[in-house]
Amino acid sequence: MRRLVLGVVAFSGAAVSAAGFLACSTQNGGAAGAVDASMADAGMQADVMMEATGVRADVQEEPQPCNEQTCGGACCGGQCIPRNCGLCDAGSTFCPFEIGIFNIGGYCVGGCNACDAGGVAAPVTCFNCGSSGVPAGTCSTDPTSCPVTVDGGACPCASGDAGECGSTQVCAGSDAGFVCLTCGQDAGGGGTDKLTCANRQTCHQATSSCGP
């Protein structure tokens, strides 16, 4: 019985000594007790927040899906980016969520044949150079909606070669100035029929398509 009591006393003394060493160690500036207390306070605050909100403070909410309600730019896969899809791996052409609404959001597609603009097919690609001079493709239902002048956003093709234009465009104009037009456009009375497209096929204006 005496040995048992002495053992307990010895064990208690060792525990007290160890606690004293931790509390007064120069390695932690004698602040171990304060650190432990602050950690305990932080844990208590997290528990209180969880009880009040039902959500743990250290658990992140699931990201919202990218769609018409959550994205004012363009959905590049599951991420919302600015409306220009030029750097999107999912596709470099912008397809609007709905046709005919100015500055509406949309999503990035590889080609306008895959564009479903609010249940409406938009297979025509319009290219707009804007102030940056870099062509940006946007899906449309009708080639007549594409820009026809450089001032209006159309891209120039100074050499007269459609190779400077988008894949479904031709280079039209005269020595006074050449501009990239989408196959199917009828600008300035000249039209785009039978002109060479950028893909080196022939524009068929009636179907707004470049083919043999």
pLDDT (tens digit, 9 = 90+) per residue, 15-52? Answer: 333 333 333 333 344 444 443 444 444 444 444 444 44
User: Residue 80: what pLDDT?
Assistant: 95
Maximum pairwise Cα distance, the chain: 115
Confidence band, pLDDT 50/70/90 cuts, at residue 188? low
3-class secondary-structure state, position 127: strand
Say whether pLDDT at 75 is over 70: yes
Q: Are 180 and 156 in contact (CB under 8 A)?
A: yes
58 or 186, greater pLDDT? 186
Query: In the predicted model, what is the mean pLDDT of the chain?
Result: 75
pTM of the prediction?
0.65
Q: Please state, in angstroms and as integers, the Cα–Cα distance from residue 90 to each residue in 76, 79, 122, 126, 156, following that order.
A: 6, 11, 18, 19, 27
Which one has a higher pLDDT value, 197 or 20?
Answer: 197
CA distance 172 to 174: 7
Distance CA 57, CA 108 (A): 35
Residues ≥6 apart with Cβ < 8 Å to 209: 168, 183, 184, 203
Q: Does residue 55 surpass a pLDDT of 60?
A: no
Per-residue tokens: 133: 């001079």
Q: Which amino acid is at 195?
A: L
> What proportion of the chain, given as a percentage, has pLDDT over 90?
39
* pLDDT at residue 29 in the model: 41
Number of Cβ atoms within 10 Å of the Cβ of 133 = 8
pLDDT class of 159 with cuts at 50, 70, 90: confident
Top-ranked range on mean pLDDT: pick from 61-65, 95-99, 130-134: 95-99
